[in-house]
Amino acid sequence: MPSVTPTLSAELQSFIEAQHVFFVASAPNGPGGHVNLSPKGIDTFRVLDPARVAYLDFTGSGNETAAHVLQNGRITFMFCAFEKKPMILRLFGQGRAVPPESLEFALLSPHFQQLPGVRQIIVADLTRVQTSCGFGVPVLKFQSDRDLIQKWAEKKGPEGLREYREKKNRVSIDGLPTA
């Protein structure tokens, strides 16, 4: 039976810190849009307080999460224990994208390591925290983070990233604006 709370306990915060990967899900309004589910890693997730979390969002092939949170705010994070005690943790909330040129970005960025290719910080105010058993999740051993996104971003450079975002990250696959 799942356990549900409104905020993150210290134990759940420790669980989050121990995970190497998390998943982000969002969806547009209505029945016809695409649900987006993305894996994330590279030590980019932070618990800002028991009811607020954030992660560094890198430039990528799409910008679905930003489009969805701009439209309706709905966001879900999922963490799975792939090692040790099995557990699944889901964080439901209302999210928003914080662009690098904003004051809020400047206030949030000290919580993270400075990495090339960051396009925004996604922040979420939590509305529900839920755990479940995770008995069906396989046991996997972490080997290492990949550094390919950072190398790609460094090669593109600031101007190349700006051009890429303008070309590929301005609208979602459903045609929604991302900013």
Is 134 part of any domain?
Answer: yes
Going by pLDDT thresholds of 50, 70 and 90, the confidence category of residue 46 is very high
3-state secondary structure the chain: CCEEECCCCHHHHHHHHHCCCEEEEECCCCCCCCCEEEEECCCCEEEEECCEEEEEEECCCCCHHHHHHHHCCEEEEEEECCCCCCCEEEEEEEEEEECCCCHHHHHHHHHCCCCCCEEEEEEEEEEEEEEECCCCCCCCCCCCCCCHHHHHHHHHHHHHHHHHHHHHCCECCCCCECC
Q: What is the mean pLDDT of the chain?
A: 96
Q: Classify residue 176: in a domain, yes or no.
A: no
- Residue 112 — very low, low, confident or very high, per pLDDT cuts 50/70/90? very high
Residue 1: predicted pLDDT: 57
Mean per-residue pLDDT for 46-63?
Answer: 96
Looking at residue 52, its pLDDT comes to 98
Residue 174 placed within a domain: no
Asked if residue 127 is part of any domain, the answer here is yes
Domain span at residue 13 reads 3-168
Res 161 pLDDT > 70: yes
Q: What is the CATH number of the domain that holds 114?
A: 2.30.110.10
* 87 has a pLDDT exceeding 70: yes
Whether pLDDT at 2 is above 80:
no
Query: Taking phi first (over 0 means left), then psi (-120 to 50 degrees means alpha), and beta for anything else, what does residue 75 get?
Result: beta
Q: Is 175 part of any domain?
A: no
86 burial type by CB count under 10 A (0-12 exposed, 13-18 middle, 19+ buried): middle
Q: What is the C-alpha separation between 3 and 129, in angstroms, rounded?
A: 8
Do the domain assignments include residue 173?
no
In a domain, 138, yes or no: yes
| Tokens encoding 164 | 């890429």
Name the token pair of 17: 């810190």
The confidence score (pLDDT) of residue 95 equals 98
**Does residue 103 belong to any structural domain of this protein?**
yes
Enumerate the β-bridge partners of residue 56.
Answer: 121
pTM over 0.75: yes
Give the chain's domain count. Answer: 1
